[in-house]
């Protein structure tokens, strides 16, 4: 049997082959089309049971199978799998796009909305019907047939362009290596980075050390390598990824232009002024002007702190590092030196206290303290030997969710960190519902020789962040798929649970129990922790304006504000307003900005800062009552995590906090109050 057609349990990752993809997608789309025909051909008026539920079931199986294919394409990319993915992507895209435009289906939902049956539905199901009607309008259901055809082609072109954008980045990252034969060039680098580079060279039958652009290599080079020339070399390679400075077939320049143009055309077809207006139709923010006012106000508050950060860095570089002209490839290196000088600790020192087993145990302890849940290791087929699988079990020994963790960077795996759904909670009938399952993916350094993997504190924060997304998906108590877990949650609120979890990485009661030095086993010393707290807001001004820079760039290019400027020129003008670090003219940041060109953050990157207001304010209630307070944890679970998209994010926040959010906690957390 084709493993992609088996929905009896967890995915059969040990059986799935690229050859299974074509057959499975063809079969599942036929099933969906059959279910659609049956729904539309019935003589009864549309109800939840005879209209919504049968379509949900068929479409859920298609989504689940395609989700497995897309996931494997991201984490174990091979030429065969990529070909299968690219062959079927247009088919999948067209199916969903046609469904969103289906006139009779749209009429059926309108009929259900105006019927007496609608008034008998739960508030959750009423919201689903209203969301569907909105999404039909945004999918082009009210367009003429000619316009629908144009919209459909744009949808398909955009899907293929996004996939190509991400593949170009992956290919650039995978191909690049830099061979070092002079040991002196590696001075300052951590031993595990040097060891990995030596092993990579040996595997490639070369003598020396092979450096790459993958995060576990690139970031330490930027932060620790004494050789300024080496830092500049890797910085240039990273800054010019997937651009005109590399292979023409991997250049994202034309894709960026096409994506922006096609999105603008879609927005115009639907009657919106620009794509940002279309994007915000389903978000908390009401307009692009509101978003830009929010970002500019935050920039005004952060810019003085950022300027001070920069001036301190430039002065230290001149006085202590013999660097008279600070360049971007010096920033991380000099910052680390300044941090050590000012706070008497380094990231490398801290990293030795965060071995993987202690970090995971500490994370799971937080989950147990807050929500009364235990994390149990389980065995199931996985896609790589490094992947592990766990169950979340409540006090009644019932499994409430399960998740895979894939922590390490490797060739064939796209960069970054993310959570994605494997299975979403959905009632199948009676008291039977599917157990939600999540992927949690990171790109940390893998274990070296006989030493365990150790994480920087920033990587620990990343892990907690992604686990926050995972809990949002896993702890839902909503049984209707369309608003279960993260489904139906406004995009600018979806980061609330993830950023909320980051706060625990700064609590002594949490950190102490998740540390153990790799040589002595001793906990993180309290004195070192206190120095980390003192350094918590080190360069927070620079970091804040950097996020604002990206957010304004995203919003402006999707507001049609190019005014005959290229995206690079727009970015340059924004930097003049808010940034304190000016990259060189050859820097091609947009070419690697996959969040907005290949992900779901187009005209939505501001969500990170928008949701940070919510998360900081939500966490302040824990600060008032005890950060591991089980009562407040239960309240957070019930009002935020459990509700999914069944009501507006603002309503959920107010139900938890007792009032609307304020920016005060965010500014205080960043030392800018």
Query: Which residues does the annotation mark as catalytic?
Result: 466
- Rounded distance between C-alpha atoms, residue 90 and residue 466, angstroms: 29
Contacts within 8 Å (CB) and 24+ apart, 592-596:
592/169, 592/241, 592/242, 592/252, 593/550, 593/554, 594/165, 594/166, 594/169, 594/416, 596/554, 596/558
Question: How far, in Å, are 8, 65, 310, 394 from residue 400 at the CA level?
Answer: 17, 22, 48, 7
Q: Minimal CA–CA distance to 477: which of 258, 272, 639, 589? A: 639
Is 172 buried (19+), middle (13-18) or exposed (0-12) by CB count in 10 A? buried
Any idea what DSSP says for residue 324?
S
Give the span between the Cα atoms of 264 and 255, in whole angstroms.
Answer: 14
Q: List, in sequence order, the alpha helices (H) in 564-629.
A: 567-578, 594-597, 607-625
Which residue in the block uniquely carries the two structure tokens 């979403």? 424
Output the six-digit token pair for 451. 């030493």
Measured CA to CA in angstroms, residue 170 lies from 93, 145, 594, 629 at distances of 22, 38, 11, 43
Q: Are 457 and 354 in contact (CB under 8 A)?
A: yes
Quick one: how far is CA 358 from the chain centroid?
24
Question: What does the alpha-carbon distance between residue 365 and residue 661 come to, in Å, rounded to a whole number?
Answer: 29
CB atoms within 10 A of CB 1: 8
Hey, what are 507's tokens? 């609590």
Q: Which residues contact 275 (CB under 8 A, 6 or more apart)?
A: 260, 263, 264, 266, 267, 558, 559, 560, 602, 603
Q: What is the largest CA-CA distance in the chain?
A: 83
Angle at 455 between CA 241 and CA 492, to 5 degrees: 60
Distance of alpha carbon 614 from alpha carbon 628, whole angstroms: 19
List of long-range contacts for 340-345, beta carbons under 8 Å, 24+ apart: 341/316, 342/535, 342/538, 343/531, 343/532, 343/534, 343/535, 343/538, 344/531, 345/528, 345/531, 345/532, 345/535
Distances (CA, A) of 147 to 152, 155, 270, 457: 8, 12, 9, 51
């Amino acid at each position: 049997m084709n493993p992609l057609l088996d929905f009896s349990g967890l995915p059969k990752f040990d059986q799935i082959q690229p050859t299974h993809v074509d057959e499975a997608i063809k079969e599942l789309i036929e099933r969906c089309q059959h279910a659609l025909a049956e729904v539309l051909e019935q003589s009864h008026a549309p109800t939840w049971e005879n209209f919504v539920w049968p379509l949900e079931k068929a479409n859920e199986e298609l989504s689940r199978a395609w989700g497995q294919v897309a996931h494997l394409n991201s984490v174990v990319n091979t030429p065969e799998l990529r070909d299968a993915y690219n062959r079927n992507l247009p088919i999948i895209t067209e199916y969903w796009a046609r469904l969103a435009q289906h006139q009779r289906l749209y009429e059926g939902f309108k009929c259900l909305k105006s019927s007496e049956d609608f008034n008998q539905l739960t508030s959750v199901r009423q919201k689903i019907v209203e969301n569907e009607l909105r999404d039909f309008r945004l999918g082009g259901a009210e367009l003429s047939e000619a316009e629908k055809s144009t919209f459909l082609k744009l949808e398909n072109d955009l899907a293929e362009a996004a996939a190509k954008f991400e593949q170009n980045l992956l290919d650039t990252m995978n191909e690049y290596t830099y061979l070092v034969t002079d040991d002196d060039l590696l001075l300052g680098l951590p031993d595990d980075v040097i060891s990995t580079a030596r092993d990579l060279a040996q595997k490639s039958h070369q003598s020396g050390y092979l450096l790459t652009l993958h995060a576990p290599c690139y970031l330490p080079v930027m932060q620790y390598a004494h050789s300024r020339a080496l830092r500049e070399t890797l910085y240039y390679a990273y800054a010019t990824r997937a651009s005109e400075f590399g292979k023409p077939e991997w250049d994202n320049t034309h894709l960026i232009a096409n994506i922006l143009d096609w999105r603008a055309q879609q927005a115009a077809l639907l009657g919106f002024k620009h794509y940002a207006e279309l994007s915000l139709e389903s978000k908390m923010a009401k307009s692009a002007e509101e978003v830009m006012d929010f970002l500019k106000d935050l920039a005004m508050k952060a810019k003085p702190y950022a300027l001070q950060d920069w001036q301190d860095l430039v002065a230290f570089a001149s006085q202590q590092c013999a660097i008279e002209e600070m360049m971007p490839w010096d920033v991380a290196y000099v910052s680390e030196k300044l941090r050590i000088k000012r706070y008497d600790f380094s990231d490398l020192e801290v990293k030795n206290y965060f071995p993987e087993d202690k970090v995971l145990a500490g994370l799971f302890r937080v989950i147990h303290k807050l929500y009364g849940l235990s994390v149990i290791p389980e065995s199931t087929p996985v896609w790589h030997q490094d992947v592990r699988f766990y169950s979340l079990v409540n006090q009644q020994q019932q499994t409430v969710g399960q998740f895979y963790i894939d922590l390490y960077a490797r060739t064939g795996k796209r960069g970054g960190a993310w959570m994605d759904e494997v299975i979403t909670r959905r009632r199948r009938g009676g008291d039977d519902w599917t157990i939600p399952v999540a992927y949690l993916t990171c790109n940390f350094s893998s274990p070296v020789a006989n030493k365990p993997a150790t994480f920087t504190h920033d990587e620990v924060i990343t892990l907690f962040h992604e686990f926050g997304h995972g809990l949002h998906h896993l702890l839902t108590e909503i049984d209707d798929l369309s608003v279960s877990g993260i489904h139906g949650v406004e995009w600018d609120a979806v980061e609330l649970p993830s950023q909320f979890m980051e706060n625990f990485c700064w609590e002594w009661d949490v950190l102490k129990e998740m540390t153990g030095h790799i040589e002595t086993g001793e906990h993180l010393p309290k004195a070192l922790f206190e120095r980390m707290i003192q350094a918590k807001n080190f360069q927070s001004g620079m970091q804040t304006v950097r996020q604002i820079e990206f957010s304004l760039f995203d919003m402006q290019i999707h507001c049609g504000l190019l005014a005959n400027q290229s995206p690079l020129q727009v970015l340059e003008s924004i930097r003049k307003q808010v940034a304190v670090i000016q990259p060189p003219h050859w820097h091609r940041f947009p070419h690697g900005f996959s969040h907005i060109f290949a992900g779901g953050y187009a005209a939505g990157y501001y969500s990170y800062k928008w949701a940070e207001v919510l998360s900081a304010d939500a966490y302040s209630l824990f600060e008032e009552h005890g950060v591991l307070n089980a009562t407040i944890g239960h309240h957070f679970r019930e009002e935020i995590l459990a509700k999914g998209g069944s009501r507006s994010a603002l309503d959920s926040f107010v139900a938890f906090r007792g009032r609307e959010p304020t920016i005060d906690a965010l500014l205080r957390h960043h030392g800018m109050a």
